[in-house]
Amino acid sequence: MNKNSLLAKRGELLDEAEKLIDGATKALEGDQLKRFDAIKAEIGQIDAQVKQVDDVNALKAATATPVTPGIAAPAVLRGVEDVKPEKGHVFAAVVRSFACAKGNMDAALKIAKDAEDAHLQKALMASEPGAGGLLVQPEVADDFIDVLRPREVVTPMVDDVRPLDAGALSIRRGTSDAVAAFKGEGQPANVSQPGTGSVSLVARELSAIVPISNRLLQFTQRNSRANRADQMALNSLVRATALRKDLAFIRGDGTNNTPRGLRSFAEEAGQVFQANATVNVANIDGDQAKLLTALANGNVQMLRPGWTMAPRTRIFLGSLRDGNGNRVYPECYQKQADGRHYWGGYPILETTQIPINLGAGGNKSEIGLIDFAEVVHGDVEGVMIDMSSQATYFDGQAWQSAFQNSETLIKIDMAVDQQMKHIEGAAWLTDVAWGAGAG
């Protein structure tokens, strides 16, 4: 007995029963009543069969041998619906099945049913096709977005994420405090009002196109539990999406429909400083103090602070030694309990999205200090998927034909934005030549 087939049959019977009721002008009688009673009896039998399947699966799970790491799980365990797939793999399987089915939802569902993959079937049935695409609903889309975050450095630090389902959102914020003053006896009390303002989040579309070999899709359609294909699709989508999103959140200038980056807010706040051209410990401490002082003078509370820097910069700081051979910044060298490096007590968000080829000599980098409690992100729920085996695409060097290359293009669309509640929460250091051989 296949549980999914039983449930599908149960749904068909319920639809038939509803049509009988809706089409009747009075209480059912005659042949209609007989059919209604027969449907009730058949549904009762199906419910009993489903319970038996659940009981058998529960017994199998209870008596199964624990899986030894590195050894494939027994087939009986792989078929149990309650085994939760790894994050992102259901999303990848949705993408792959949709591509295998050439955009046909019924064919995609058949692929999932043939594989007896309950998680994939549920995800596909919850998705909404439209205009040739597929809108993956939040439950599965969030699973994919969660996989993105460890590969980003900005988004995992931001706790304040607002929904942008209406396309835009305005957030009220304070711009100045009320003023208190001492007064003499009999004199009126000072009256003042706190200043208020707003920041706006606008859904900015982020797209990524990933080509997948038609030969691979042909193979995976026959072998629907092709986890390697799912992993390949997932990795490609994650790389394409996460890197571009993170780059915008760090260095975007807000033009050409891109979000504003943290560096842009630091510029607006007048908190961009130049590093000392002479690289030594005293000057490095002084440059660090410039950023710390800027945020302190802006009354930033430093509830969730962090540094953004290139790996080269962090490695240089971790390698610095004093005259006695001791490391100057040992926390930049040795990871702490949370898996991060620190500098001055604040975590380092190490990313190659910070360039190391800036400045006149083409060897400079930058460092940012941000209180991420002041950062707010906007996010539209759901991810839109489109596919084509006929379109052309630009691979960064030349235009390619998916048809000529026997490929299927998978295009995903999501919408995000970034703002700061108070721009004083970001400061930036430029012309950082640490680790570039400068002396």
Q: Running along the chain, 439 residues long, what does each successive block of 10 average in pLDDT?
A: 67 77 74 85 85 70 44 36 58 68 66 64 56 54 55 86 82 60 69 63 85 68 53 69 88 90 96 96 97 96 96 96 94 92 96 92 95 92 76 83 83 88 96 78
Rounded CA separation 313/306 (Å): 15
pLDDT of residue 17: 79
d(C-alpha 263, C-alpha 251), whole Å: 6
Residues 6+ apart with CB under 8 A from 115: 224, 225
Mention every residue, 6+ apart, whose C-beta is less than 8 A from residue 138.
381, 382
Closest CA to 205 of 380, 88, 385: 380
pTM, 2 dp: 0.63
Q: Is 384 helix (H, G, I), strand (E, B) or coil?
A: strand
How far apart CA 119 and CA 109 sit, in angstroms, is 11
pLDDT of res. 16: 81
User: Residue written as tokens 């891109």?
Assistant: 258
pLDDT confidence of residue 389:
79
| Phi–psi pair at 220, nearest 5 degrees | -70, -20
Where do the H-state alpha helices sit in 115-261?
A: 118-126, 138-148, 214-222, 227-251
**pLDDT attached to residue 183:** 66
Find how far residue 260's CA is from the centre of its chain. 18
* Secondary structure (3-state) at 410: strand
Please give the structure tokens belonging to residue 46. Answer: 């199906």
Looking at residue 395, its pLDDT comes to 76
